Amino acid sequence: MKALVYGGPGSNTRQDAPDPVIVHPADVIVRGGTATIGGTDLHRPAGDVPTVQNDRTPGYEDQADRSEVGITELSSTEWRVSDRTVDAGDPSGVLGFIQRLGNFYEVTNLRRLRERSYFSSFDRATASLAAGTVLA
């Protein structure tokens, strides 16, 4: 796969990067379909963000961390989705829950407790928690 690598003010290159790999049996790799940029992304190329080091692949911590998700089957119709970068004993690592309801998957995102999202596939349900966004 390719990654944008910051090489200093005015120097960004597109380079080969290793593909993600499954390490644990419950791991999942989520491919994002869309992304957004923020103010830092606009200021970084000009060198306006002194804390950004050269040869760094930019990306939001939120997206990078959550792509490393673990899925724990709680029953044949329920799963817990957790952030693998957080210690397994730390409840803050739990991103949410997925429950199969007939032909759909209901997602309870613990960061949006008053909302429920519904998806036609398990992969899309998982991606909604891994990316921290709701996919339509």
pLDDT per residue over 108-130, tens digit each? 988 887 888 999 988 888 888 87
Tokens at 66, concatenated:
């959550």
Domain that holds residue 29: 2-130
Q: Is residue 57 part of a domain?
A: yes
Q: Is residue 135 part of a domain?
A: no
pLDDT band at 35 (very low <50, low <70, confident <90, very high): low
- Whether 64 shows a pLDDT value over 60: the answer reads no
pLDDT top residue among 26 and 126: 126
Q: Is residue 136 part of a domain?
A: no
